[in-house]
Amino acid sequence: MQFYSERLRYEKFTPDHFEDYFRLVSQQDVMLYISGTGLDMEGARKRFERSLHADGQQSEMGFVAVYEQVTGLYIGLGKIVPFEDGLTEIGYALLPEFWGKGYASEITSRLVAYARECGSVESLVALVIPENRASVNVLTKHQFRFFREVPDGDVMRHDYILDL
């Protein structure tokens, strides 16, 4: 699974992506609204192993490493994975040096288009901590609407939905 957007290239996670993944998820700023804290090597390996199998054995789904097309630099990850009740989850995480460049919006737009191309996805869901205003803004810009509030450990999570 490999696809492109205007400035970015996406390729499905393989074990070879772990080094870049660890560089991303070990950063406190990146993980603040995901796990609450940056991950150590052991935590990152466990989470990465889960991400390698998050496709639910659907080859068109999964976690993707995201690269700038022009420079080839790793900028972060995206995901489009089976969720619950027929929903498909999308999400992203970016290295801080790539924040504020419109990449979150570009990734979201491409994942929505990709879901439509798959033909079997009826609704997308994105999970966000309400304090993460930047991600809430990205989602609402792409016509996601607030769907429900869900207790998630010590925090309250908001799920946003987009019917395709």
Q: What's residue 97's pLDDT?
A: 97
Residues of the chain with pLDDT under 70: none
Query: Rounded distance, CA 151 to CA 147, Å?
Result: 14
Q: Tens of pLDDT along 121-135?
A: 999 999 999 999 999
Q: What's residue 139's pLDDT?
A: 98
Token reading at 160:
């946003």
- 34 by Cβ neighbours in 10 Å (0-12 / 13-18 / 19+) ranks as middle
Question: Is residue 48 within a helix (H) or strand (E), and if so which, with residue range?
Answer: helix 41-52
Q: What's residue 107's pLDDT?
A: 98
In the chain, the DSSP E strands lie at 2-4, 8-12, 62-68, 74-82, 87-94, 123-128, 145-152, 155-163
Q: What's residue 154's pLDDT?
A: 84
Q: What's residue 1's pLDDT?
A: 85
Q: What's residue 66's pLDDT?
A: 98
For residue 149, the SS3 value is strand
The domains of the chain, with CATH numbers, are 2-118 (3.40.630.30)
Q: Which of 143, 149, 106, 105 lies closest to 124 in space, CA to CA?
A: 143
Q: What's residue 155's pLDDT?
A: 86
Axis crossing angle, helix 18-25 with helix 41-52, rounded to the nearest 10? 120
